[in-house]
Amino acid sequence: MGQIGRRGFVMAAAGAMAALGTAGDAAARTADRGSWPRRARAREFRGMWMATVANRDWPSRPGLTPAQQRAELCAHLDTAVARKLNVVVLQVRPTADALWPSPYEPWSQYLTGSQGRNPGWDPLGAAVAEAHRRELRLHAWFNPYRVAVHTDPSRLVESHPARVHPEWVLPYGGKLYYNPGIPEVRRFVQDAMMDAVRRYDIDGVHFDDYFYPYPVAGQVFDDDATYARYGAGFPDKAAWRRDNTDRLVREMADRIRRSGKVIPFGISPFGVWRNATTDPLGSDTRAGVQTYDDLHADTRMWVKKGWIDYVVPQIYWNIGFPAADYARLIPWWNDVVRDTDVDLYAGEALYKAGDPAQPAPWQDPAELSRHLTLARAYEGVRGHCFFSAKEVMSDQIGAMARVVADHYPTRVRPPD
């Protein structure tokens, strides 16, 4: 992202605005959100993901009226405030669709029940306004390549880009995906996401862990023809795929910077980059999935090269879990961000707390609180993000309440 990091750019921009006496967007945001407690402790990221795919968190079901959808949205934001959180990571492009009036992609079916149908309001615009009214930051969460959670293109609205360009799409594992190896696809998904970046006062851009899809036993992601066309010069298909993902991340970072918006770009990868048995630089884990090898996403390199501003590894395992111990992954990620300008926030599996299908530690309301206690010993960990909004609200066994009681005595501002 150039020779100057985001923090340096923010400080320089703020200084220039002060010298000129301007009231630009960044200065206005600072002024609008200046009523935090004076004696609050050091800044930290306290976030929650709000998933819209399959109506997981919000809206609770498709077809609600605009007033009902807004009321549910505000209830989630009010809960975030009550839990002393400061960031909401809202999924605004769950399946190559949009929660805003996009000129590139159809309205999301999770709003009305019918893809392409106008819901009668602007959910992203309202979410930004309502979040800011509550002194919450709103990060827009985009899924770059997932097109549908089924494999039937005829179920997509007729004008959907995946139907206009069927050559862009591959079925795999019961879903449809845009093919990351096609340069036109990479440009298109960036264009679609950048539309929201340019038009809304969002406070961050967020990708999740889905790049190339998670492996499905007995199935092949059939991009052989694409590799034959574009893969010259790479030692193997895996290296070519990683380069495709690298290009998406690097180009998106550059486009956000060139847009003039001073907002962070973050990614929440699967919690294991590589096992140490695969790579001596990897973590002391025995995970069945490795992001570098299986999702073709070199998340460690993105941090080291400063292509992203923050990383939220999904460390969704309990302390002491044999294959992927939270207590071993936190120090590994802390070492990854050391001597970089990339902020580290730990992704927390609140959804596992009280789930009877999970191991015994997840039945203890104090497990997540112990995560935060452990992480506090590592200087690079600057906060946590909880999956997800539904569980932040329902708090089945009081795990979130325990986190708040033990660690969040008052609201604080997130890192800039």
| Alpha carbon distance 169, 372 (integer Å) | 41
Any residues with CB less than 8 A from the CB of 232 and at least 6 apart, and which? Answer: none
Q: What is the pLDDT of residues 371-388, one digit of tens each?
A: 999 999 999 999 999 999
* Amino acid at residue number 354: G
* Contact (CB, 8 A) for 320 and 360: no
Predicted confidence at residue 202, as pLDDT, reads 98
CB atoms within 10 A of CB 18: 10
**For 291-306, what is the mean pLDDT?**
98
User: For 316-334, b where at least 16 C-beta lie within 10 A, e where not — what string?
Assistant: bbbeebeebbbbbbbbbbb
Reply yes or no on whether the pLDDT at 14 is more than 50. Answer: no
% the chain with pLDDT above 90: 90
Predicted confidence at residue 24, as pLDDT, reads 34
Reply yes or no on whether the pLDDT at 182 is more than 70. Answer: yes
Nearest C-alpha neighbor of 142 from the set 69, 90, 220, 212: 90
Reply yes or no on whether the pLDDT at 20 is more than 80. Answer: no
Reply yes or no on whether the pLDDT at 16 is more than 90. Answer: no
**For 177-194, what is the mean pLDDT?**
98
Q: What is the pLDDT of residues 51-101, one digit of tens each?
A: 999 999 999 999 999 999 999 999 999 999 999 999 999 999 999 999 999
What is the CA angle 387-278-292, rounded to 5?
45
**pLDDT tier for residue 133 given thresholds of 50, 70 and 90:** very high
Average pLDDT value over all residues in the chain: 92
| Alpha carbon distance 143, 145 (integer Å) | 6
| Alpha carbon distance 253, 265 (integer Å) | 7
**pLDDT tier for residue 26 given thresholds of 50, 70 and 90:** very low
Q: Backbone phi, then psi, for 303, in 5-degree steps?
A: -65, -50
Residue identified by tokens 């264009």 is 191
Predicted confidence at residue 25, as pLDDT, reads 36
CB atoms within 10 A of CB 117: 16
**At 359, is the secondary structure helix, strand, or coil?**
coil
* Contact (CB, 8 A) for 101 and 113: no
Predicted confidence at residue 42, as pLDDT, reads 79
In terms of residues, how long is the chain?
416
Q: Which residue has the higher pLDDT, 14 or 294?
A: 294
Token pair of 164 as six digits: 């206009």
**For 283-297, what is the mean pLDDT?**
98
* Amino acid at residue number 39: R
Task: Return the half-sphere exposure (C-beta side, CA atoms, 13 A cut-off) of residue 46.
Answer: 26
